[in-house]
């Protein structure tokens, strides 16, 4: 996990006396504080989780439960992965939830209403998501709109487009008389959500993890990735040092839209239909995952693997509260508390 030693980690200063073992251990813990927070949440889960009433296993630790968390938060994770790129440039993308709804609708529309094959439908959906992102990016980079405003507009527009495509209702087999596919739902819906090779992973989960890995490599090792940090750190300095600031920004938003498109496809498979309302308020979960992971909203600091950690923290917290059967009031309070705690753990050393 290259990014965990995030760029803000200070190199050892020369000329100091060697540190004792406990101090060095604390130092390691500190450098990996995202992972520390995750470990704390994980331990908490193992301690408080109920046991299965017949097998007496600790439910939280079962492989099924672990795979469930990855499976359920694959969409949020995909959104968060794209969001990380944008946040690294000190921007924000509020439209990802709506873009998810739009692409989920497009995907199922082509598949169910038009009888297209899976691959072209998915491609059109993902490209549609990328176009939404590119449009936001151009509004931000070329027309110099504030990211918040530009993506707020896209948030409304994409939701409108989703409802226009579907005529306001969910796209499922047989739901509208003019839907071609009248009998069984498309096989891809089942296939994408069924465990593969007898294992605990499902294609949706794999798509999420693979995308995250690719983007982690891009952010860490490509020139584009370094430019994102530079822009987020100091945009003017980045521009003066010859970085194509606008192009990189458009690219970041485009990739963010693209992951939202993938999340849309996953969402349709997850639910078994295309819902124009899908992804409502998901952007908040995605931003929370990025921030809890340790990427700074001010830009220039953070990384993709931190976002995986953040997504897992959010997923675990929700799962623990759900397993405990807590009611909504306590859940919301606990969630707020844990998000603050996680970010405090992240931020204390920086001040």
Partner 1 sequence: MRHAALLVLIVALAVCLLLTGCSKAKPPSGDTAIPFGNFDEPGGRPSTLGNEAAAPAEGGKKFTLGMSQCSLNEPWRVQMNKDIEEAAKAHPELTVLYKDAQNQAEAQQAQVREFISQGVNLIIISPKEAKPLTQPVAEAMDAGIPVIVLDRKIEGDKYTCFIGGDNVLIGREAGKYLVKLLGGKGKIVELKGLETSTPAGERHKGFMEGIKGSQIEIIHTADCRWLEPNAQKEMNSVLTKFAQIDAVYGHNDPSAHGAWMAAKQEGKGREKTIKFIGIDALPHEGVKYVEEGILAATFEYKTGGKEAIEMAARILQGEKVPKSIVLGTRLFTPENVKQGGQEIKVGS
Determine the Cα–Cα distance for residues 264 and 99; give it in Å rounded to an integer: 7
Tally Cβ neighbours within 10 Å of residue 176: 14
Indicate the DSSP class of residue 91: -
| Closer residue to partner 1, CB minimum distance, 142 or 349 | 142
Q: Which stretch binds partner 1 (CB under 8 A): 35-43, 61-69, 87-95, 206-214?
A: 61-69
Give least dist CB 142 to partner 1, A.
5
| Closer residue to partner 1, CB minimum distance, 110 or 304 | 110
- Look up tokens 């995907």; give the residue: 107
Q: Which stretch binds partner 1 (CB under 8 A): 33-41, 51-59, 208-216, 255-263?
A: 51-59
Strand partners for 116: none
| Closer residue to partner 1, CB minimum distance, 249 or 301 | 249
| Closer residue to partner 1, CB minimum distance, 35 or 79 | 79
Give least dist CB 305 to partner 1, A.
24
Indicate the DSSP class of residue 222: S
211's tokens = 């995308």
Residue 297 CA, distance from chain mean position: 15
Binding mask 27-46 for partner 1 (x = CB under 8 A): --------------------
Strand boundaries in the chain, DSSP class E: none
Determine the Cα–Cα distance for residues 99 and 323; give it in Å rounded to an integer: 31
Helix (H, G, I), strand (E, B) or coil at 171: strand
Determine the Cα–Cα distance for residues 325 and 152; give it in Å rounded to an integer: 35
| Closer residue to partner 1, CB minimum distance, 17 or 242 | 242
- Comparing CA positions, the residue from 130, 155, 152, 154 lying closest to residue 254 is 130
| Closer residue to partner 1, CB minimum distance, 68 or 234 | 68
16-21's contacts with Cβ under 8 Å and 24+ in sequence apart are none
Give least dist CB 165 to partner 1, A.
5
- Contact between 284 and partner 1 by CB under 8 A: the answer reads no
Q: Where are the alpha helices (DSSP H) in the chain?
A: 21-31, 33-48, 63-72, 74-88, 96-108, 118-141, 147-166, 187-193, 203-221, 223-233, 235-240, 245-271, 282-293, 304-324, 328-347
Binding mask 69-108 for partner 1 (x = CB under 8 A): --xx---------------------------------x--
Give least dist CB 56 to partner 1, A.
11
- Contact between 55 and partner 1 by CB under 8 A: the answer reads yes
- Comparing CA positions, the residue from 93, 56, 121 lying closest to residue 260 is 93
Give least dist CB 249 to partner 1, A.
12
| # of chain residues touching partner 1 (CB under 8 A) | 56
- Contact between 50 and partner 1 by CB under 8 A: the answer reads yes
Q: Which residues of 193-205 are buried (b: 16+ CB within 10 A; e: fewer)?
A: beeeeeebebbbb
State which of positions 148-177 bind partner 1 (CB under 8 A).
Answer: 157, 160-161, 164-170, 172, 174-177
- Contact between 249 and partner 1 by CB under 8 A: the answer reads no
Query: Residue 173 burial by CB count (10 A; 0-12/13-18/19+): exposed, middle or buried?
Result: buried
- Contact between 64 and partner 1 by CB under 8 A: the answer reads yes
Write out the residues near partner 1 by the rule CB under 8 A: 50, 52-55, 59, 62, 64-65, 68, 71-72, 106, 109, 113-114, 135, 138-139, 142-143, 157, 160-161, 164-170, 172, 174-178, 193-195, 202, 267, 270-272, 275, 277-278, 280, 318-319, 322-323, 325, 327-328
């Amino acid at each position: 996990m290259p990014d965990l030693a995030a760029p803000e980690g200070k190199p050892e200063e020369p000329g100091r006396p060697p540190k004792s073992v406990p101090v060095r251990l604390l130092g390691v813990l500190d450098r990996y504080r995202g992972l520390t927070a995750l470990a704390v949440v994980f331990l908490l889960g193992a301690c408080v989780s109920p046991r299965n009433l017949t097998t007496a296993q600790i439910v939280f630790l079962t492989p099924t439960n672990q795979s469930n968390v990855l499976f359920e938060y694959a969409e949020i994770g995909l959104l968060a992965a794209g969001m990380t790129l944008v946040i690294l440039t000190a921007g924000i993308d509020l439209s990802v939830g709506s873009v998810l709804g739009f692409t989920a609708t497009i995907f199922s529309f082509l598949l169910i209403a038009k009888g297209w094959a899976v691959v072209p439908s998915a491609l059109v959906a993902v490209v549609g998501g990328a176009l939404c992102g590119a449009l936001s990016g151009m509004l931000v980079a070329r027309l110099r709109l504030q990211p918040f405003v530009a993506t707020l507009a896209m948030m409304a527009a994409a939701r409108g487009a989703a409802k226009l495509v579907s005529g306001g209702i969910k796209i499922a087999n047989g739901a509208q008389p003019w839907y071609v596919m009248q009998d069984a739902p498309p096989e891809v819906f089942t296939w994408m959500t069924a465990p593969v090779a007898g294992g605990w992973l499902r294609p949706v989960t794999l798509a999420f993890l693979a995308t995250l890995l690719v983007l982690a490599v891009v952010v860490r090792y490509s020139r584009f990735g370094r430019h994102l940090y530079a822009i987020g750190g100091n945009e003017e300095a980045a521009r003066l040092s010859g970085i194509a600031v606008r192009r990189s920004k458009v690219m970041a938003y485009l990739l963010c839209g693209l992951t939202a498109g993938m999340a849309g496809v996953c969402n349709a498979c997850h639910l078994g239909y295309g819902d124009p309302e899908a992804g409502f308020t998901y952007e908040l979960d995605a931003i929370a995952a990025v921030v809890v992971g340790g990427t700074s909203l001010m830009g220039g600091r953070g990384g993709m693997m931190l976002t995986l950690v953040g997504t897992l923290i959010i997923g675990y917290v929700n799962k623990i509260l759900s397993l405990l059967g807590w009611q909504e009031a306590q859940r919301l309070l606990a969630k707020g508390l844990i998000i603050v705690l996680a970010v405090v753990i992240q931020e204390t050393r920086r001040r």
